[in-house]
Amino acid sequence: MYKSRKINTIVIISNILRSLTALLCFVALSASSQEVTSQPHIEIVTEHLPPFQIDTPNKVLGFATEIVSSALSSTPYTFNISVYPWARSLNMALNKANTCIYSIARTPAREQQFIWVNTIAERNVSFIGLTARKLSITSLDDAKKYMIAVIRDDVTHQLLVKKGFIEGLNLFVVNNTHSLLMLLAKRKSIDLILADGYTIKYRAQFNNLNPNLFENVYQLNTKPLDYYFACNIKTPPYIIEQLRHSINQLKITGKIDKIISEWQYPVIRVN
């Protein structure tokens, strides 16, 4: 009788140990699975700005988009790219952790608002007018005689406000770049837009306009300005370092130069 009880006790203990072992294995596997799938997701926002980034019905194109996508693809993070009016994208990147933005100019006013991951492209800033009007501008003060359209909260908007331009008097503010070139072409009250002259051929093609209708009237900067990939200030340092390293590798290997060279001609690839 005693022997029978002893055997039963051993069986019970053995069963308990097997159950505990199975439970521990399950917990370990679950933890491992969670570790694999818990890598942060990076939300990336931008605006429509051909050829840097181009909003199409199927996906976001453009050479800056290709650079950002290539960099993110070599990290362990999932990501998606969304296009909004610039002011909305800027607000999202300012207020949501693990949210990044491109192509953004690095200005003193923005310096403490973002983590500046890396440069991805260069831009120029010019007054663009209609070729037929043959406007002559040699300074910002000359430009104050005209009505100039700019993108809300863009660096060009901030620059002109800082230099004394007044909305409604000589400054017309729009929400996105889709309408900027069309305003210049179609609305007689708009004399100039402030944009990168390099983008005009692409913007014209996107809007079914002849690029020869437009000319670079006056370029503000004497050397190219940097466009950045930047992230919300609450984004963890290890993510920032991985992103920065990935972009640096694209520079070292010549991948960025290759991507940009493939976009030298104004052909918007939608496939």
Q: Is the pLDDT of residue 177 over 70?
A: yes
* pLDDT in the model for residue 205: 86
Establish whether the linkage from the previous residue to 103 is cis, with ω within 30° of 0: yes
Calculate mean pLDDT across residues 199-206. 87
Note every long-range contact of 155-160, with CB atoms under 8 Å and residues 24 or more positions apart, other chains counting.
155/105, 155/107, 155/125, 156/125, 156/194, 156/195, 158/107, 158/109, 159/125, 159/194, 159/220, 160/194
Domain co-membership, 117 together with 153: no
* pLDDT in the model for residue 265: 52
Per-residue pLDDT band for 27 (boundaries 50, 70, 90) equals very low
* pLDDT in the model for residue 224: 87
* pLDDT in the model for residue 14: 57
Domain co-membership, 145 together with 99: no
pLDDT tens digits, 77-135: 999 999 999 999 999 999 999 999 999 999 999 999 999 999 999 989 999 999 999 99
Q: Is the pLDDT of residue 269 over 50?
A: no
Domain co-membership, 256 together with 195: no
Domain co-membership, 200 together with 159: yes
Domain co-membership, 89 together with 172: no
Choice between 65 and 58, residue whose per-residue pLDDT is larger:
65
Calculate mean pLDDT across residues 161-184. 91
**Residue 190 burial (10 A CB sphere; 0-12, 13-18, 19+):** buried
Choice between 222 and 44, residue whose per-residue pLDDT is larger:
44
Domain co-membership, 132 together with 213: yes
**Domain span including residue 158:** 126-219
Domain co-membership, 138 together with 215: yes
User: Rounded CA gap, 13 and 36, in Å?
Assistant: 34
Domain co-membership, 166 together with 248: no
Domain co-membership, 201 together with 177: yes
pLDDT tens digits, 232-244: 999 999 999 999 9
Choice between 176 and 94, residue whose per-residue pLDDT is larger:
94
Domain co-membership, 131 together with 208: yes
* pLDDT in the model for residue 138: 93
pLDDT averaged over the chain?
Answer: 86
Contact 94, 235 (CB under 8 A): no
Domain co-membership, 138 together with 178: yes
% of the chain at pLDDT higher than 90 = 65
Q: Is the pLDDT of residue 26 over 50?
A: no
Residue 165 domain-assigned?
A: yes
Q: Looking at the 3D structure of the chain, how many domains does it have?
A: 2
User: Rounded CA gap, 92 and 234, in Å?
Assistant: 13
Q: What is the CATH number of the domain that holds 70?
A: 3.40.190.10
pTM, full prediction: 0.75
